[in-house]
A and B are shown apart, each in its own frame.
Chain A
Amino acid sequence: MNEERSQDLLAVDNLRVCFHTRNGTTVAVDDMSFRLQPGQVLGIVGESGSGKSVACHSLLGLIPSPPGKVEAGSARLKGEDLLRMSEKQLRNVRGNRIGMIFQDPMTSLNPYMKVGAQLVEPLRRHRAASAKEARAKAIAALGEVGIKNPEQRIDDYPHQFSGGMRQRVMIAMALMTEPEILIADEPTTALDVTVQAQILQLIKKIQASHGMAVIFITHDLAVAADMADHMLVMEKGVVVEQGPPEQIFKGHQHPYTKKLIDAIPTSSKPPSGAPRKLEQLVQVNHLRTSFSVDRHTQVHAVNDITLDVRRGEILGLVGESGSGKSTLGRSIIRLIESQSGEVLIDGVDLYQLGTNKLKRARRDFQMIFQDPYASLNPRMTVFDTLAEPLLIHGIAKRDTLTEQINQLMDDVGLDRTSARKYPHEFSGGQRQRIAIARALAPRPKLIIADEPVSALDVTIQAQILKLLLKLTEKHDLTMLFISHDLSVVRYIADRVAVMQQGQLVELASTETLFQQPQHPYTQALLSAIPRVEL
């Protein structure tokens, strides 16, 4: 492993990174070794906390230190060890010989600087280019990443670009100095699926035309398989498997890789044994919700939507960001007030109920939120969190409370003994289980689940999806499952509704929708999903 091959662009050997905190030492990356050849795309895959980002950031001295510390190893960029470089030497590498793209294009550009000024910065700094030269180069780079009218757009501020466009600007910025290596840290995670497909295409094209080496960090196996020539699978700071994608997928030996691959929702929902009822639970008629942006402009987030949710079914609601799917979910249960239309739940129009009646009616429809870190009150124990809905709606008496809470915790697969703990003591997946238990507590008829698995790692996601399926069956629940992720929806939903710009473009049974999408937008969405060919 240690013999140096002359064609290695980057040779990392036995890298070990630790974080020393007051709660002890965490080994973030342990004994990591890999080679990167010029023009190669290396995919690093792992779940959150696997050390994939830390490893790459530590190469450029970008980990917060303290508490982070590179304890051992070497990383030779054409023979020069990055880990032994001074801060000054490293500055000549960063943004010059190694470029970086980050996950969130919304925050990685300075909102107070025109994009042009940000683009020319690395060039002026590293190559001492003249202002005119740099500007010409920046315009060319913007054109190359597919931004129209680069001569004009160069003088725009970041907020004038959409998320996908900003990621293109970030890529243009990384390209300015013609780096030998491009590190892309989850570059498409924050983007919609159609935009993600475009950005992946762009990175591939640029990689080929510049002959750059790319380190592509992602949690998404399908994306990695699509992009990489060579893959590393990381678990808890250790590289458990590496090789070309075919080998990883076909000949996977390591149990963790297998677990990751199995967790990808590929199949559709197993048909349930119970005969499907066609009775409606929810009927939404001509619902309209709009927000005023200012005095003259209104955004119609939900624009004349009519749909029904049948008793006992899981209705998937998909759409890209800004399509109004979350607003629709919240409008149905009056967390956001609609301007017109009606929502009948069991025949009762929610929009005709007074404040007090509505409060009482709320026990019938509950919500599960996307971010389990934000949706639980950090100052209430699990017990208190679950007790609240039970007591408010008079479902439990003081003496039966503990028993009922225990049952809820069993239902969602939480350990009974942890009832007195606070949310911050649980992992993301466990927190989502608490949130699910809270939604189940008042024994609702309808659950609105707004992206309930989007913030979770893929293996956890698979567990939570299974849990949701089990619970809907057991408690005879009806669910509106909102998601941007089509494969997840395919796995869980009986029928799927597709939204685009506030309108419902298609509603069909899951099978029909995935086999024969009718609307062009649905077709575009489906073709953009990165797939693993097995």
Chain B
Amino acid sequence: MQRITEQTATEPVLEEGSSLTRDAMHRLFKNRLALVSAGFLLLLILVALLTPWIAPYAYQDQNLLLGASSPSAQHWLGTDTLGRDQLTRILYGTRVSLMVGFVATAVALGIGVLWGATAGYLGGRVDNAMMRIVDVLYALPFAIFIILLTVIFGSSMLLLFLAIGAVEWLTMARIVRGQVLTIKRQEYIEAAIAMGLSRWRIIRRHVIPNAVGPIIVYTTLTIPSVILLESFLSFLGLGIQPPQSSWGSLISDGVENMENYPWMLIFPALTLSVTLFALNFLGDGLRDALDPRASKD
């Protein structure tokens, strides 16, 4: 398709090419749902960052006289059984949950991309050995692995991040390896070899940038699954310990008091669901936006 460019008659100006990234952004901006989701997530991150200043109470403040009260002017989202402000706890929970989501995903991303790209590009025996390690780790029962870790090292946030990241990178590695196997057979890789480039440069400059679409998409899908995982661990009592809160621990408390004090379940569950929806919509939007088949020609 012909690109329409404004010609300046006086001197040749470098035409700004519409890059793939910019094309993708353009398509993303046309996707309302993805855009709204991105906006929501940005707001959430902002709120999480500002929580200590905007939270109406301190997260450990108890008011035992109040007990579990329904939403009111003082406590917009009610209080829990110990009289702690629910809104405050959700806000602090957001900090924890988002941090787990992003940090653990970053860990998974770092290990997974390097591992998968190396295995895929080198191929042969190295690939075989590396992927068998992945298979073995896949086969480890995850819950037992984490319980073991918490028993040995005690439960800490850092451990939680590492443990979740250590599990999530496996799938990432597989996805990246698959991508790299396809890219490796492309002619531009052969051209790069013929040019005399080093392996490392080829992986960095030619392989990874072309695998980036699926990686970004899978990342946005990993974040919600990590948040869910943390919720699950906190629910089991293995994750975040009170008085700190996370969405998972709040929901777990809420479930215990679901019959008498439904707001203790509804609000944290609602926050979690909306966030997960937003992440999934954004992931879908990014996948469509980065799809090379949607490129202009």
Contact = CB atoms under 8 A, between A and B. Distances in A.
Contacts of A380: 205-206, 209
A34 interface: no
Interface stretch (A94-102, A357-365, A497-505): A357-365
B125 interface: no
Contact of A333 (B15, B17, B194): B194
B1 interface: yes
Given A377-B206, A425-B3, A369 B191 contact: yes
A377 B197 CA distance: 14
Interface residues of A, number: 42
Contacts of B186: 374
B187 A420 contact: no
A438 B140 CA distance: 49
A393 B154 CA distance: 54
Contacts of B15: 417-418, 420-421
**Which of A26, A333, A370, A379 has most B Cβ within 10 Å?**
A379
Given A335-B194, A376-B188, A379-B209, A421 B17 contact: yes
Interface residues of B, number: 33
14 contacts: A24-B1, A359-B197, A360-B196, A362-B194, A367-B190, A369-B190, A374-B186, A375-B190, A377-B210, A389-B195, A418-B17, A420-B14, A422-B17, A422-B19
B195 A362 contact: yes
A299 interface: no
Nearest to A393: B196
Contact of B197 (A375, A376, A388): A388
Nearest to B207: A377
Interface in A71-116: none
A192 to B, nearest CB: 22
A363 B210 contact: no
Given A375-B191, A424-B20, 8 more contacts: A23-B296, A26-B1, A360-B196, A363-B196, A377-B210, A424-B297, A425-B3, A442-B196
B195 A335 contact: no
A380 to B, nearest CB: 8
Given A369-B191, A375-B187, A417-B13, A359 B198 contact: yes
Contact of B187 (A23, A359, A366, A374): A374
Contact of B194 (A26, A366, A379): A366
A371 interface: yes
B292 interface: yes
A457 B292 CA distance: 24
B18 interface: yes
Contacts of B12: 415-417
B244 interface: no
Contacts of A379: 20, 209-210, 212
A381 interface: yes
B14 A378 contact: no
Contacts of B295: 424
A380 B13 CA distance: 20
A419 interface: yes
Interface in B1-21: 1, 3, 12-20
B270 interface: no
Interface in A1-31: 23-24, 26
Contact of A420 (B17, B188, B190, B292): B17
Given A359-B198, A378-B210, A424 B190 contact: no
A392 interface: yes
B148 interface: no
Contacts of A333: 194
Nearest to B297: A424
B69 to A, nearest CB: 53
Contacts of A420: 14-17
Interface of A: 23-24, 26, 333, 335, 358-363, 365-367, 369-371, 374-381, 388-389, 392-393, 415-422, 424-425, 435, 438, 442
Nearest to B197: A392
Contacts of A442: 195-196
Interface in B277-296: 292, 295-296
Contacts of B1: 23-24, 26
A156 B275 CA distance: 55
Nearest to A423: B188
A397 to B, nearest CB: 18
Given A420-B16, A424-B296, A424-B297, A374 B194 contact: no
A212 to B, nearest CB: 37
B50 interface: no
B18 A425 contact: yes
Given A23-B1, A362-B196, A377-B206, A438 B191 contact: yes
B119 to A, nearest CB: 21
B193 interface: yes
Nearest to A371: B187
A362 B212 CA distance: 29
A373 to B, nearest CB: 9
Nearest to B295: A424
Contact of B14 (A26, A360, A419): A419
A335 B190 contact: yes
The list of the 6 closest CB pairs from A to B, nearest first, reads A362-B196, A421-B17, A375-B187, A374-B187, A379-B209, A359-B196
B195 A366 contact: yes
Nearest to B22: A422
Given A417-B15, A420-B17, A425-B17, A378 B205 contact: no
A67 B287 CA distance: 21
Nearest to B194: A367
Contacts of A377: 188, 192, 205-206, 209-210
Contacts of B14: 417, 419-420
Contacts of B205: 377, 380, 388
